[in-house]
Structure 1
């Protein structure tokens, strides 16, 4: 009989807090991207820094998000698409087609005027397909990105396994990615 009393006591104690709701734990809010100025990613003369995210893959398609942050002290007017060139491992330009628009991996918002305040960011997606048919497969190791016409270019590490398509698609600068 004693084991039954012990079980009843445990159940009674655990039931004491059953009717009380615990407040939900606050969900962490991610901080906004901080201006990044390092030896590897200095501010350009226009006052922006550029970084490339990891290459994401889906069904033979690939994409990398380029983030431009205003690391300067003044507002910057941005409109359109970054100028992009793909470089091989020796940092030599590759002969590929660069197109503006949507792809399997990203929807293009189209060129719209943007005002980039200090500390704010804009995004552009570089995407390609790794399709291999007849011919030699092309693989790039870097992308040179010029954020604004006539601006200073930055070379970013981006592994681009273009297969035999020879094509890269670029979306316009936007504050967020479109679904």
Structure 2
């Protein structure tokens, strides 16, 4: 009789262990569902954060074919500032300012490097083009020399987009040019996958503007 009980125990214990694991997994699923249900809805109706969403991280720099000149203005010797964008009749514009923070002059030519990360921390699928937008005119790339403390500017422009149910730009990544290290800001913008962003060349501010 004792032997029969022992055999029965050997059968029941593994079944009980499996049942415990199943219960734990179900509890984890229930907890995740409850957390999602209790989360505050996004005010713009954007897609909720999904920790299991596929995607690639935003690269910390964009590829560049030729080396950056030794005397170039870079994120190492300059300060970049990215204030909140302006809006007008369904269009958006954001001015980026670069200040030479070094003790010697630095040179700048070409276009700002821009990328965006979504609410899941992944690279947002956005087309970045050089040129004018509704909010800013592009004068083309010209050589600029900045003395210590002097500034140059570039503008980013895009059309407003509905964010309902969408991945949206939640971080802005900017560098002086492709190949330089990108700096990043947490910044919610109505830029969604498939959007086109226009970027002007670096330029000096005209007097009186």
Q: Is the TM value for this pair above 0.5?
A: yes
In structure 1, the residue matched to 2:26 is none
- State how 1:54-65 maps to structure 2 within 5 Å: 54-65=84-95
In structure 2, the residue matched to 1:154 is 183
C-alpha spacing 1:165/1:177, structure 2 compared with 1 (3 Å): farther
Aligned length: 136
CA distance in 1, matches of 2:180, 2:201: 16
- State how 1:50-129 maps to structure 2 within 5 Å: 50-129=80-159
CA distance in 2, matches of 1:86, 1:52: 13
Higher strand share: 1
C-alpha spacing 1:45/1:101, structure 2 compared with 1 (3 Å): closer
In structure 1, the residue matched to 2:171 is 142
CA distance in 2, matches of 1:100, 1:141: 22
CA distance in 2, matches of 1:177, 1:131: 31
Q: Which runs of 5+ in 2 are unaligned?
A: 1-72
Over the aligned positions, Cα root-mean-square deviation in angstroms equals 2.7
- State how 1:26-37 maps to structure 2 within 5 Å: none
In structure 1, the residue matched to 2:48 is none
Structure number, greater radius of gyration? 2
CA distance in 1, matches of 2:100, 2:77: 6
Could you tell me how far 1:54 is from its partner in structure 2? Answer: 1.7
Q: Which runs of 5+ in 1 are unaligned?
A: 1-42
Alignment check: 8 A CA contact 1:136 1:164 kept? no
CA distance in 2, matches of 1:99, 1:148: 13
